[in-house]
Amino acid sequence: MTDVDAGFWTTVADTVAAVCLLAGAFLTFAAGVGTLRFPSLLARMHAVTKPQVLGLILGLTALALRVRNWSAVAMLVLVVIFQLATAPVGAHLVSRAGFRTGKVDETELQPNEMDPSSTDDPH
Amino acid sequence: MSLHPRRRAARRVRLLSAQWPALVVLTVIWVLLWGDLSWANVLAGLALAVFLVVVFPLPPIVSDGRFRLVPFLNLAGRFLSDLVVASFKVAWVALRPGPAPHGAVVQVRLRNAQDVYLTLTAVLSTLVPGSLVIETRRDAGILFLHVLDIEASGGLDGVRRDILALEARVLRALASDEVLARCGMPDGRSVVDTVRTTEGEG
């Protein structure tokens, strides 16, 4: 590989990293806005599980493309795996605790199949 | 149940050797966290893994499944694209002006109530389409999902269809032939067919 090629691929990696970083920052920002703006506990949990996780993945991808160091990349992959494994569990536990302790305003859930009066299997 | 001490020890060794994948994974994580592959790290990680498995034993996973590469890649690919689409959708809902959309709680009965597939389907559905698992009924294989925007998700039936299609992808990638046959998904049919069948049932 010549020097020109190496320089070219470095530019490509840097550009992709910049795009990933911007997209990740946008999604993380939107997650923050959603957490603030959404009216209920359950809706807020959506903001913290979806855009936040992908925002982090994109940010770390950008970091991996810039750092170009295998042991650092391995660590970043671990962060992503743990995030994917723990974020849904955390959101699920918060939602379930909210539901069980009556912190969720059930009147705004239309329809609400959790309602004790509709426990029959809908199928 | 009180076992003879020696039999209990033998049982513990058997459990430990049955959990060798857990030991390998924990050791690999330890080495990755140190970021340096050396004998000291591998041995320390292995010792820690054995300690964790002995002190915090988990129930054995019923492993009658079969790994299929192509359906697994299909599951992973769909997961990634759904993650991207769902993230930008939720981001748009968060940023757009106007009131928040209409939420709902939907009950979905999965085809297969086995713990492994129930858990995988629940975790993936929380990460992916506009849904969030808030409660499960493990013995009956029922998930209760909160949906952020019920109209945009195609109503109750749309959500059920999406979740059942996700479950079909999970089963196709990891479940045994027997389970697939029991769920009415004999091997050889494409995932698209399964989705169509589910639509017909719904």
Chain B residues with CB-CB distance to A50 below 8 A: 83, 86-87, 90, 127-128
For range A63-81, the mean pLDDT: 86
Between residues A21 and B99, the one the model is more confident about: A21
Q: What pLDDT score was predicted for residue A121?
A: 44
Domain boundaries, chain B: 5-55, 69-201
pLDDT surpassing 90 at residue A18: yes
Answer whether the bond into residue B59 is a cis peptide, omega within 30°: no
Closest in B29, B91, B107 to A27, CB measured:
B91
Residue B127 DSSP one-character state: H
Chain A residues with CB-CB distance to B105 below 8 A: 109, 111-114
Cβ separation B91–A74 shorter than 8 A: no
Counting beta carbons within 10 angstroms of the beta carbon of residue B149, is it exposed (0 to 12), middle (13 to 18) or buried (19 or more)? Answer: middle
pLDDT surpassing 70 at residue B196: no
Tell me the pLDDT tens digit for each residue of B18-43: 777 888 888 988 888 887 788 888 99
B79 Cβ partners below 8 Å, 6+ apart? B124, B127, B128
Q: What pLDDT score was predicted for residue A3?
A: 58
Closest in A33, A110, A112 to B94, CB measured:
A33
Between residues A113 and B150, the one the model is more confident about: B150
Mean of the per-residue pLDDT values for chain B? Answer: 78
Percent of chain A predicted with pLDDT > 90: 17
pLDDT surpassing 80 at residue B129: no
Calculate the alpha carbon distances from B31 to A69, B82, B103, B177 in Å.
16, 32, 44, 36
Q: ipTM of the assembly? A: 0.76
Which of the residue ranges A91-105, B16-30, B47-61, B180-194 would you say has the lowest mean pLDDT? B180-194
Chain A residues with CB-CB distance to B92 below 8 A: 30
pLDDT surpassing 50 at residue A110: yes
If pLDDT is split at 50, 70 and 90, which confidence band does B173 have? confident
Closest in A53, A75, A87 to B33, CB measured:
A75
- Residues facing B199 on adjacent strands: none
Q: What pLDDT score was predicted for residue B3?
A: 57
**Region class of B75: left (phi > 0), else alpha (psi between -120 and 50), else beta:** alpha
Is the CB of B38 inside 8 Å of chain A's CB atoms?
A: no
What is the distance of C-alpha A103 from the center of its chain? 24
pLDDT surpassing 50 at residue A71: yes
If pLDDT is split at 50, 70 and 90, which confidence band does B192 have? very low
For range A100-106, the mean pLDDT: 74
B88-107 residues touching A, CB cutoff 8 A? 88, 90-95, 99-100, 102-107
Between residues B185 and B121, the one the model is more confident about: B121
As a whole number of angstroms, the distance between CA A119 and CA B166 comes to 23
